[in-house]
């Protein structure tokens, strides 16, 4: 196992200006880790969502600014803020995210900031299928990170899947069936699966998170099985955000 810095360095690659996160099982955790990593390198960042997020999650990442403040405010002053949590408005204990169109205007206005977008919601479940309007991935994303929590593996679909009816229909399985490696491979590769709506031109990274729930021989079997999957992605990452260790497979980070 290697350090999670390998994954975090991917998020700092100069050719990735807009990075979107989809799936379940660790999106918000990865956003927080990315923020800490960027701070160490004195990089500027905007954290936002195109759907909804818990208010406390974005507040932890940086001062809240509404999109109206970006588009109508003093850009010289705003551009000096290293970390910004960008929202449209607050609704109770959640924030309403910005549209891809508003985000594109922000990208042009604050050109020194890397933009991190939570483009999907999973209600805390490790794996999900998408409704017709999901996910809301900005078409100008440079990298999309799809996350699957390995706590879904070998468990019945009704216990671990968000939007279960869509998931059953997508993979032609039924309630009572268990999620195995073949289903994970199909979900990553299916055009309506994990990377639904992702621009053809952008890179894809899949992160199989929560490997720490397995130990001993079972852990070895899971890692071997995941490494053997034939996935239509540029980067395959297996590991644990909690433990800070990953196995990273992909192109040279400088490419």
pLDDT in tens, 76-135: 899 999 999 999 999 999 999 999 999 999 999 999 999 999 999 888 899 999 999 999
What pLDDT, on a 0 to 100 scale, did the predictor assign at position 226?
96
Q: What is the pLDDT of residues 191-215, one digit of tens each?
A: 999 999 999 889 999 999 999 999 9
The domains found in the chain, sorted by start residue, are 2-248 (3.40.50)
* Model confidence band, residue 252 (pLDDT cutoffs 50, 70, 90): very low
What pLDDT, on a 0 to 100 scale, did the predictor assign at position 251?
63
Q: What is the pLDDT of residues 154-196, one digit of tens each?
A: 999 999 999 999 999 999 999 999 999 999 999 999 999 999 9
What pLDDT, on a 0 to 100 scale, did the predictor assign at position 191?
95
Reduced 3-state DSSP string for the chain:
CEECHHHHHHHCCCCCCEEEEEECCCHHHHHHHHHHHHHHCCCCEEEEECCEEEHHHHHCCCCEEEHHHHHHCCHHHHCCCCEEEEECEEECCEEECCCHHHHHHHHHHCCCCEEEEECCCCCCCCEECCCCCCCCCCCCCCEEEEEEEHHHCCCEHHHHEECHHHHHHHHCCCCCCECCHHHHHHHHHCCCCCCCCCCCCCEEEEEEECHHHCCHHHHHHHHHHHHCCCCCCCEEEEEECCCCEEEEEECCCCC
What pTM does this model have? 0.94
């Amino acid at each position: 196992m290697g350090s999670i810095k390998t994954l975090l360095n991917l998020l700092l690659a100069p050719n990735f200006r807009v990075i979107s996160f989809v799936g379940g099982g660790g999106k918000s955790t990865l956003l927080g880790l990315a923020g800490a990593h960027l701070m160490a390198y004195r990089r500027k960042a905007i954290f936002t969502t195109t759907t909804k997020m818990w208010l406390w999650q974005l507040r932890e990442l940086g001062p809240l600014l509404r999109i109206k403040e970006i588009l109508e405010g003093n850009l010289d002053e705003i551009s000096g803020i290293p970390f910004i949590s960008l929202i449209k408005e607050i609704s109770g204990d959640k924030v309403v995210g910005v549209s891809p169109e508003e985000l594109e205007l922000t990208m042009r206005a604050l050109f020194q900031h890397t933009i991190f977008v939570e483009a999907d919601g999973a209600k805390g479940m490790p794996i999900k299928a998408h409704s017709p309007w999901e996910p809301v991935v900005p078409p100008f994303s440079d990298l999309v990170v799809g996350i699957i929590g390995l706590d879904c593996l070998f468990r019945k679909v009704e216990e671990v899947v968000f939007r279960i009816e869509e998931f059953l229909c997508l993979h032609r399985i039924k309630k009572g069936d268990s999620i195995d490696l073949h289903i994970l491979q199909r979900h990553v590769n299916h055009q309506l699966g994990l990377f639904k709506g992702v621009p053809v031109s952008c890179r894809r990274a899949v992160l199989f998170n929560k490997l720490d729930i397995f130990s001993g021989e079972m852990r070895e079997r899971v890692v071997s099985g995941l490494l053997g999957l034939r996935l239509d992605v540029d980067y395959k990452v297996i590991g644990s955000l909690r433990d800070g260790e990953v196995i990273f497979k992909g192109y040279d980070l400088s490419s």
